[in-house]
Amino acid sequence: MMRFLCWTDFFDSTIFVWVVMPLLIFGARVIDVTLGTIRIISIAKGYRLLAPILGFFEVLLWLFVVMQIVKNLHNPLYYIAFAAGFATGNFVGIVIEEKLAIGTLLVRTIVSGPVKELINGLREKGYGVTSVEAQGTSGKVTIIYSIIRRKDVRDVVETVEKYDPHAFYSVEDLRSVNRGIFPSTGGLNRKSHLLSFFSRRKSK
């Protein structure tokens, strides 16, 4: 009984109301918004099972935060913690998504000069390459298409700039990919199996 009273006194104490609870609200809001950011990205990428799982925990944490604020409308620190957690959660969510590097990209490179070395350089690294002759504003050009995993975008861009510093390239998100040629590493294979569990790819 005495232990119960001690915990009750702690929950009613100034430290808990003005320090502990604002920190809890901030932390819960950070996690909540982080999950929301990743959930939105998952929906855009087509991961239909992952998105609702994240959404469940996102709403659960949001309800906890809102309940605490409604019970303590007189405490301005709760509002500050709520807003700060929202802002921080957006940042953390984007950083985590970049680290996970979910999805596939299309890299389109337009070269006006020789392309043989660039194409060979990409293929030697294991990337699939499709080249098309085209007519640009200033003459003939070659358009090189490569479907890559998002985590490889920096390597591909560095390769393009190495062989042709003046090449024009653009990077686009792809919602689904049926087949492709990718560098084969154990890490990529394991990740591919994990993501395929959370998504249903549409064959073209």
Higher pLDDT, 69 or 80: 80
What residue type is 150 in one-letter code? Answer: R
Q: What is the pLDDT of residues 27-63, one digit of tens each?
A: 999 999 999 988 888 887 777 788 899 999 999 989 8
Q: Distances in Å between the alpha carbon of 13 and those of 9, 24, 25, 65, 93?
A: 6, 15, 17, 19, 33
Q: What is the pLDDT of residues 153-202, one digit of tens each?
A: 899 999 999 999 989 999 988 776 666 677 765 444 444 444 444 444 43
Calpha distance 118→164 (Å, rounded):
7
Q: Which tokens hold the place of 128?
A: 């699939």
What integer is the mean pLDDT of 127-154? 90
Calpha distance 26→184 (Å, rounded):
41
